[in-house]
Protein backbone atom coordinates (compact mmCIF):
# COMPACT_ATOMS: atom_id res chain seq x y z
CA UNK A 1 0.00 0.00 0.00
CA UNK A 2 1.46 3.34 -1.08
CA UNK A 3 1.90 6.16 1.37
CA UNK A 4 0.39 9.57 0.73
CA UNK A 5 2.37 12.80 1.01
CA UNK A 6 0.52 16.10 0.83
CA UNK A 7 2.51 19.32 0.57
CA UNK A 8 1.60 22.88 1.35
CA UNK A 9 2.75 25.31 -1.37
CA UNK A 10 3.93 28.75 -0.15
CA UNK A 11 6.99 28.41 2.07
CA UNK A 12 7.04 24.64 1.61
CA UNK A 13 7.65 24.06 -2.09
CA UNK A 14 7.81 27.59 -3.49
CA UNK A 15 8.98 31.08 -2.60
CA UNK A 16 6.33 33.45 -3.88
CA UNK A 17 7.06 36.20 -1.35
CA UNK A 18 7.88 38.87 -4.00
CA UNK A 19 4.64 38.18 -5.89
CA UNK A 20 2.55 38.16 -2.69
CA UNK A 21 4.01 41.45 -1.45
CA UNK A 22 3.60 43.02 -4.89
CA UNK A 23 -0.05 41.95 -4.95
CA UNK A 24 -0.79 43.37 -1.51
CA UNK A 25 0.97 46.63 -2.35
CA UNK A 26 -1.15 46.97 -5.49
CA UNK A 27 -4.39 46.22 -3.64
CA UNK A 28 -3.80 48.86 -0.98
CA UNK A 29 -2.62 51.45 -3.49
CA UNK A 30 -5.74 50.82 -5.60
CA UNK A 31 -7.78 51.90 -2.59
CA UNK A 32 -5.68 54.99 -1.86
CA UNK A 33 -3.96 53.44 1.15
CA UNK A 34 -0.31 53.17 2.07
CA UNK A 35 1.31 49.82 1.45
CA UNK A 36 1.21 47.37 4.38
CA UNK A 37 4.18 46.39 6.51
CA UNK A 38 5.86 43.52 4.68
CA UNK A 39 6.77 41.59 7.83
CA UNK A 40 3.13 41.71 8.90
CA UNK A 41 2.05 40.40 5.50
CA UNK A 42 4.56 37.54 5.66
CA UNK A 43 3.36 36.59 9.15
CA UNK A 44 -0.14 36.12 7.68
CA UNK A 45 0.90 33.98 4.70
CA UNK A 46 -0.95 30.67 4.76
CA UNK A 47 -4.25 32.23 5.76
CA UNK A 48 -6.93 32.80 3.10
CA UNK A 49 -6.81 36.21 1.43
CA UNK A 50 -9.92 37.49 3.21
CA UNK A 51 -8.33 36.76 6.58
CA UNK A 52 -5.06 38.38 5.50
CA UNK A 53 -6.70 41.58 4.29
CA UNK A 54 -8.84 41.81 7.41
CA UNK A 55 -5.71 41.34 9.52
CA UNK A 56 -4.05 44.19 7.63
CA UNK A 57 -6.90 46.58 8.35
CA UNK A 58 -8.90 46.51 5.13
CA UNK A 59 -12.54 47.52 5.81
CA UNK A 60 -14.73 44.42 6.02
CA UNK A 61 -17.15 45.55 3.33
CA UNK A 62 -14.27 46.28 0.94
CA UNK A 63 -12.30 43.06 1.44
CA UNK A 64 -13.72 41.47 -1.77
CA UNK A 65 -12.57 44.54 -3.72
CA UNK A 66 -9.10 44.34 -2.18
CA UNK A 67 -8.93 40.66 -3.11
CA UNK A 68 -9.96 41.44 -6.69
CA UNK A 69 -7.23 44.08 -6.96
CA UNK A 70 -4.69 41.67 -5.49
CA UNK A 71 -5.59 38.91 -7.94
CA UNK A 72 -5.51 41.27 -10.91
CA UNK A 73 -1.92 42.21 -10.08
CA UNK A 74 -0.87 38.73 -8.95
CA UNK A 75 -2.03 37.19 -12.22
CA UNK A 76 0.32 39.53 -14.09
CA UNK A 77 3.47 38.75 -12.14
CA UNK A 78 3.18 35.46 -10.22
CA UNK A 79 5.06 33.30 -12.74
CA UNK A 80 8.08 35.57 -13.02
CA UNK A 81 8.22 36.32 -9.29
CA UNK A 82 7.92 32.77 -7.94
CA UNK A 83 10.63 30.11 -7.65
CA UNK A 84 11.02 26.64 -6.23
CA UNK A 85 12.58 26.45 -2.79
CA UNK A 86 15.85 24.57 -2.34
CA UNK A 87 15.22 20.84 -2.44
CA UNK A 88 11.59 21.13 -3.55
CA UNK A 89 11.98 19.53 -6.98
CA UNK A 90 14.02 16.69 -5.49
CA UNK A 91 11.45 16.23 -2.74
CA UNK A 92 8.60 15.87 -5.22
CA UNK A 93 10.57 13.54 -7.48
CA UNK A 94 11.57 11.28 -4.58
CA UNK A 95 8.12 11.35 -3.00
CA UNK A 96 6.46 10.35 -6.27
CA UNK A 97 8.57 7.19 -6.43
CA UNK A 98 6.93 5.62 -3.38
CA UNK A 99 3.86 7.71 -2.52
CA UNK A 100 0.79 9.37 -4.00
CA UNK A 101 1.60 13.08 -3.96
CA UNK A 102 -0.79 15.99 -3.57
CA UNK A 103 -0.69 19.72 -2.88
CA UNK A 104 -3.01 21.35 -0.34
CA UNK A 105 -2.89 25.15 -0.40
CA UNK A 106 -4.91 28.25 0.40
CA UNK A 107 -4.10 29.60 -3.07
CA UNK A 108 -6.70 28.82 -5.70
CA UNK A 109 -6.09 25.55 -7.52
CA UNK A 110 -6.24 27.47 -10.82
CA UNK A 111 -3.17 29.58 -10.04
CA UNK A 112 -1.44 26.69 -8.28
CA UNK A 113 -1.66 24.28 -11.20
CA UNK A 114 -0.49 26.91 -13.71
CA UNK A 115 2.42 27.72 -11.42
CA UNK A 116 3.42 24.10 -10.79
CA UNK A 117 3.32 23.39 -14.51
CA UNK A 118 5.47 26.48 -15.17
CA UNK A 119 7.99 25.29 -12.57
CA UNK A 120 8.16 21.86 -14.20
CA UNK A 121 6.95 19.75 -11.26
CA UNK A 122 3.25 19.17 -11.90
CA UNK A 123 4.08 15.76 -13.36
CA UNK A 124 4.93 14.49 -9.88
CA UNK A 125 1.59 15.59 -8.39
CA UNK A 126 -1.68 13.66 -8.59
CA UNK A 127 -4.06 16.23 -7.09
CA UNK A 128 -4.11 19.90 -6.12
CA UNK A 129 -6.62 21.18 -3.56
CA UNK A 130 -6.96 24.95 -3.42
CA UNK A 131 -9.11 27.48 -1.60
CA UNK A 132 -11.73 27.20 -4.34
CA UNK A 133 -12.13 23.45 -3.79
CA UNK A 134 -13.31 23.61 -0.17
CA UNK A 135 -15.69 25.50 2.07
CA UNK A 136 -13.35 25.55 5.05
CA UNK A 137 -9.60 26.16 4.52
CA UNK A 138 -6.75 25.00 6.75
CA UNK A 139 -6.54 24.65 9.73
CA UNK A 140 -9.85 22.89 9.12
CA UNK A 141 -9.20 19.28 8.05
CA UNK A 142 -11.47 19.61 4.99
CA UNK A 143 -8.68 20.34 2.46
CA UNK A 144 -6.65 17.32 3.57
CA UNK A 145 -9.71 15.09 3.62
CA UNK A 146 -10.69 16.34 0.16
CA UNK A 147 -7.23 15.49 -1.18
CA UNK A 148 -7.39 12.01 0.34
CA UNK A 149 -10.85 11.50 -1.11
CA UNK A 150 -9.67 12.49 -4.60
CA UNK A 151 -6.78 10.05 -4.26
CA UNK A 152 -9.09 7.28 -3.07
CA UNK A 153 -7.18 7.09 0.23
CA UNK A 154 -9.92 7.37 2.84
CA UNK A 155 -9.56 4.25 4.98
CA UNK A 156 -8.08 4.30 8.48
CA UNK A 157 -5.08 2.41 7.12
CA UNK A 158 -4.61 5.02 4.39
CA UNK A 159 -4.71 7.86 6.92
CA UNK A 160 -2.17 6.13 9.13
CA UNK A 161 0.23 6.19 6.17
CA UNK A 162 -0.53 9.78 5.11
CA UNK A 163 1.67 12.83 5.78
CA UNK A 164 0.97 16.56 5.57
CA UNK A 165 4.17 18.56 5.04
CA UNK A 166 3.99 22.29 5.67
CA UNK A 167 5.68 25.35 7.11
CA UNK A 168 2.93 26.80 9.32
CA UNK A 169 0.93 25.73 12.34
CA UNK A 170 -2.18 25.77 10.15
CA UNK A 171 -0.74 22.88 8.14
CA UNK A 172 0.08 20.91 11.26
CA UNK A 173 -3.20 21.65 13.01
CA UNK A 174 -5.09 20.56 9.89
CA UNK A 175 -3.01 17.36 9.84
CA UNK A 176 -3.81 16.64 13.48
CA UNK A 177 -7.52 17.25 12.96
CA UNK A 178 -7.55 15.08 9.82
CA UNK A 179 -5.78 12.23 11.60
CA UNK A 180 -2.64 12.23 9.43
CA UNK A 181 1.02 12.73 10.35
CA UNK A 182 2.05 16.39 10.42
CA UNK A 183 5.59 17.28 9.32
CA UNK A 184 6.86 20.82 9.84
CA UNK A 185 9.44 22.79 7.84
CA UNK A 186 11.51 25.78 8.92
CA UNK A 187 12.20 27.02 5.36
CA UNK A 188 9.02 29.09 5.17
CA UNK A 189 6.89 31.47 7.18
CA UNK A 190 6.33 29.60 10.45
CA UNK A 191 8.46 29.72 13.59
CA UNK A 192 10.12 26.50 14.76
CA UNK A 193 8.94 26.90 18.35
CA UNK A 194 5.33 27.23 17.19
CA UNK A 195 5.64 24.25 14.84
CA UNK A 196 6.99 22.08 17.67
CA UNK A 197 3.77 22.63 19.59
CA UNK A 198 2.08 20.50 16.94
CA UNK A 199 4.76 18.03 15.80
CA UNK A 200 8.15 16.65 16.78
CA UNK A 201 8.90 16.04 13.10
CA UNK A 202 10.56 19.30 12.04
CA UNK A 203 12.97 19.53 9.11
CA UNK A 204 15.09 22.07 7.22
CA UNK A 205 13.19 21.69 3.96
CA UNK A 206 10.86 19.43 1.98
CA UNK A 207 13.64 17.19 0.70
CA UNK A 208 14.88 16.44 4.23
CA UNK A 209 11.31 15.66 5.26
CA UNK A 210 10.76 13.26 2.37
CA UNK A 211 14.05 11.50 3.10
CA UNK A 212 12.80 10.90 6.63
CA UNK A 213 9.48 9.56 5.34
CA UNK A 214 11.34 7.23 2.97
CA UNK A 215 13.46 5.96 5.84
CA UNK A 216 10.33 5.50 7.97
CA UNK A 217 9.12 3.00 5.38
CA UNK A 218 11.91 0.71 6.48
CA UNK A 219 11.09 1.28 10.16
CA UNK A 220 7.46 0.34 9.64
CA UNK A 221 6.09 3.83 10.28
Per-residue pLDDT of the chain (221 residues; tens, 9 = 90+): 899 999 999 999 999 999 999 999 999 999 999 999 999 999 999 999 999 999 999 999 999 999 999 999 999 999 999 999 999 999 999 999 999 999 999 999 999 999 999 999 999 999 999 999 999 999 999 999 999 999 999 999 999 999 999 999 999 999 999 999 999 999 999 999 999 999 999 999 999 999 999 998 655 55
What is the reported pLDDT for 218?
55
Q: Answer for the pair 188, 167: CB distance below 8 angstroms, yes or no.
A: yes
Cα separations (Å) of 117 from 114, 120, 154? 5, 5, 27
Element (H, E) at 109: helix 109-118
Give the architecture-level CATH label for domain 17-77: Orthogonal Bundle (1.10)
What is the reported pLDDT for 2?
92
Q: Where are the domains of the chain?
A: 3-15+83-218, 17-77
- Report the C-alpha gap between 135 and 29 in whole angstroms: 30
- Any idea which fold 3-15+83-218 has? Rossmann fold (3.40.50)
Collapsing DSSP to helix, strand or coil, 126 comes out as coil
Amino acid sequence: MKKTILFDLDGTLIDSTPAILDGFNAAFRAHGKSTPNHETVKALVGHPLDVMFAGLGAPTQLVPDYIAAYKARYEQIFLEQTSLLEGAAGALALASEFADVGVVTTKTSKFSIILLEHLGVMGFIKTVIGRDDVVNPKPDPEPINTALDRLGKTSAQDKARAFMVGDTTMDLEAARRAGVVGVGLVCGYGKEASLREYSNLIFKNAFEAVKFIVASEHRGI
